[in-house]
Structure 1
Amino acid sequence: MDAIQNAAKLLASSRCPVFTLDTDVHGTRSAIALIERLGGAYDHALGDVLAKEVTLFTDHGGMFTTPGEARRRSSLIILVGDIPAAHHDMLLSWAGTQPDLGDRGKRTWFHIHGEMNAAAKLARQLKAVSLGAEGLSLGGALAVLRAQLQDRQVARSLGGIEQFRKALAKSQFPVFVFSGTSGDAPGLAMLQGLIADLNRKGRASSVFLPADDDAWGTALTSLWMTGFPTRTGFSNSLPSYDPVRWDVQRMIRDKEADLHVWVSSRGGETPPRGGTAAVISLSRTEAPASGAAVTIAVGKPGVDHDGVAYSSRIGTFRALAATAPSPLPSVANIVRQLANSLPGRKALPC
């Protein structure tokens, strides 16, 4: 209880508190409600990667489907650049099946890439036909592919292009699988332009696989609570989204924040060092976090207690049952205690 009171005092005296979030839906909702009351700002622990993924949706948009739809309807899957290792097992499981809706032929695979990289191993396992050329980046390969499919002149042709044309002609629903780590923002925008071209004559879509499911779940939770993804602040009581202004690590480096609340139920993660801001750590740990003024131990959703998290495999949120229930409290429980210890004692709405 002393830790709760000490943390509440730091929160109450802070003029610019910032939060780094890495927890499940319940913890994220409670934290955002508290941040709104404090007039603070928040980001995710994987803020830079997540901001890049969010940019594709906020700046460009695109055509997307779910992994389940792709598995059941598409006989032509095209990998785009690197795919995070967390998703390899799912894609390999698709290789042993064939569509039972729409396209019913044998599934074929292609891989659009720049210089060969870590994704090459997955592509080989899937026996994917290579779509690339020496010296071309992924963005360059996508641009050349888009041009060639429009029968435009190009300085360099991609290997495997004729096989791809034939596969496209047979497929009723080609699907491009990509991640925010697949390439830069212009390259991913080029990918969506290519998909838009294909939809003028038929039907095509893409499956977005986030670099980290928990991070993407945090962005979606933020979106439904505030209308904005992470890197949102409440400086004037209303939410405002700015991926530069509310970059929490930048704010700490530039000494704009005087208090950093680190919230991580993942386990094994510690607050980054540096900066002059005081640190409150809500972590799955047995020892005080290095450099933190206050450390409060929390449980991990799906291990110590039940929770709700995003799953890219099903394309939505799923319930997590505790596999090893323990007395460790949830992030949501601790955040509610902090809110109740602040002046005014106003309960959180969630």
Structure 2
Amino acid sequence: MTEITEVPSPFCGIGTDDLTIHVEGLSVKVSENGCAVNTPAFEQDITDTSARVNGKEVSLELAVAKAADLLRASNQPVIGGCATDVNGMRGVMAVADKAGAVVDNVNFPAARRNFLALQDTGWMTTTLAEIKNRCDFLLVVGVDLEGFSPRFFERYLWNKESMFLDDTSQRDVVYLGKVPSGEASTSPTGGKAKVIPCADADLPEVMAVLRALVKGRKIVAESVCGVAINDLQGIAEQLKAAKYGVVTWAAGALGFDHAELTVQMLCEMVKDINTMDTRCSGFPLGGKEGDQTANQVCGWTSAYPARTRFSSGFPEYDPFLYDSNVMLANGEADVLFWVQAFNSASVPPVTELPTVVVARSGMTFAKEPEVFIPIGTPGIDHAGHAYRLDNVIAIHLKKLRDSGLPSTAEVLNAIEHAL
């Protein structure tokens, strides 16, 4: 058995890099600093090692050739999932460019809410390092933060040492919307986070009133959607009194129509606070299923996020038209190509179209795809890089075992060369 320390994770989004892993053959066990997100992701067993075509095991070369044949015969292929590391996403882009495909990350329906707000009026956001060293007030809007990232508070809020704070345990935390699922937000000295619950669908109205209070507007009502105006006034005063306030949200948790307007309201409120002789920043949560990596690589190679079409011979971005699920439902695609290196439970949508799946070993299907190529997982079966949720760091991922499985990049580069 081999013990590997200081292992970074591509699964949790926050760049956890202090895991201790025990490796014995193909078995991987997290022995220290695991969490509800990382431990099961690292410890998943390998079940598939051979490629399949129409359900029959074949060589990797034959599977690659079949995948290339399907793409070559396609008029409009769609590459979905796009959950992989940097080199894997480069491979996705190369295949898309050559095959004239649409590229669509599995988490883009959530990311679109952020992109629409960002492209319309911009935002002011911060990084994990700045939160760790400066944040004295954290407002969590519409998301169970410890459910999203179980070790966020431990690593970035209740850290023992900080460059600009004498006592990190004195930081204040307020939840607005969802109630936290555990006690991670409780400070080391026992201070509890303040929780002001409200339904997701009420957040647009609640946030509009909160922004008005931040700007000093008079609110005549005593409550909005069941939330006391006095409670919102308290949040407004804390935001303005903080030396470095942070407002965080997860676009994927805002499951209501036109949630991008609520994201925009949050971002505009942050800008308002920065005109009041203090500092405040937004902090959008993400980084899972390779979503930040997909958008970063797609951005620097095409100038657009990962919902882009290449069938015209140049990249065309449209966050609505090139929704892979809509295209499949409307009969606008004729081949589905699914890439998922991290999560074997993230299966492709069931379709009658020819389907190619390049995915983590262990994926099971309601309908067997025409081609299935099991691949290694970045950070377990091969080294690589993946962007964490604040987009400023590409985490260097370690190889932990020799599984014999190819990487996403190796498979996609072979398919691209065969086209």
TM-score by length of 2: 0.73
In structure 1, C-alpha distance between the alignment counterparts of 2:156 and 2:240, rounded to whole Å: 21
1:316 matches 2:393: yes
Q: Find the counterpart in structure 2 of residue 180 from structure 1.
A: 251
In structure 2, C-alpha distance between the alignment counterparts of 1:190 and 1:286, rounded to whole Å: 42
In structure 2, C-alpha distance between the alignment counterparts of 1:174 and 1:141, rounded to whole Å: 19
SS at match of 2:328: helix
Contact 2:132–2:157 under 8 Å retained in 1: no
1:87 matches 2:176: no
Paired amino acid for 2:75: R
Paired amino acid for 2:119: T
SS at match of 1:152: coil
TM-score by length of 1: 0.87
In structure 1, C-alpha distance between the alignment counterparts of 2:194 and 2:217, rounded to whole Å: 22
Contact 1:270–1:283 under 8 Å retained in 2: no
What aligned pairs does 1:112-261 form with structure 2 within 5 A after superposition?
A: 112-114=175-177, 117-119=178-180, 121=182, 125=186, 127-131=192-196, 137-154=202-219, 155=221, 156=223, 157-161=228-232, 163-164=234-235, 167-168=238-239, 170-183=241-254, 184-202=259-277, 203-210=279-286, 212=288, 214-261=290-337
In structure 2, C-alpha distance between the alignment counterparts of 1:160 and 1:98, rounded to whole Å: 30
SS at match of 1:113: strand
Percent of residue pairs bearing the same amino acid type: 24
In structure 2, C-alpha distance between the alignment counterparts of 1:113 and 1:317, rounded to whole Å: 31
Residues 187 and 169 (structure 1), Cα distance of their counterparts in 2 relative to 1, 3 Å cut: closer
Paired amino acid for 1:91: F
C-alpha displacement of 1:47: 3.2
Contact 1:304–1:322 under 8 Å retained in 2: yes
CA RMSD of aligned residues (A): 2.7
Bigger mean CA deviation after superposition, 161-170 or 182-191: 161-170
- Unaligned 5+ runs, structure 1: 343-350
The structure whose residues are more often strand, as a share, is 2
Bigger mean CA deviation after superposition, 165-174 or 71-80: 165-174
In structure 1, C-alpha distance between the alignment counterparts of 2:363 and 2:184, rounded to whole Å: 43
C-alpha displacement of 1:79: 1.5
Q: Find the counterpart in structure 2 of residue 285 from structure 1.
A: 361
Match of 1:100 among 142, 154, 162: 162
Bigger mean CA deviation after superposition, 160-169 or 35-44: 160-169
Match of 1:12 among 57, 72, 85: 72
Residues 144 and 211 (structure 1), Cα distance of their counterparts in 2 relative to 1, 3 Å cut: farther
C-alpha displacement of 1:52: 2.6
Match of 2:374 among 294, 297, 300: 297
Match of 1:111 among 163, 174, 187: 174
SS at match of 2:153: helix
1:178-231 per-position Cα deviation (integer Å, ceiling 9, x unaligned): 221353211111111111111112221122211626212211211111111111
Paired amino acid for 1:139: P
Residues 252 and 49 (structure 1), Cα distance of their counterparts in 2 relative to 1, 3 Å cut: same
What aligned pairs does 1:4-43 form with structure 2 within 5 A after superposition?
A: 4-20=64-80, 21-43=82-104
The structure whose residues are more often helix, as a share, is 1
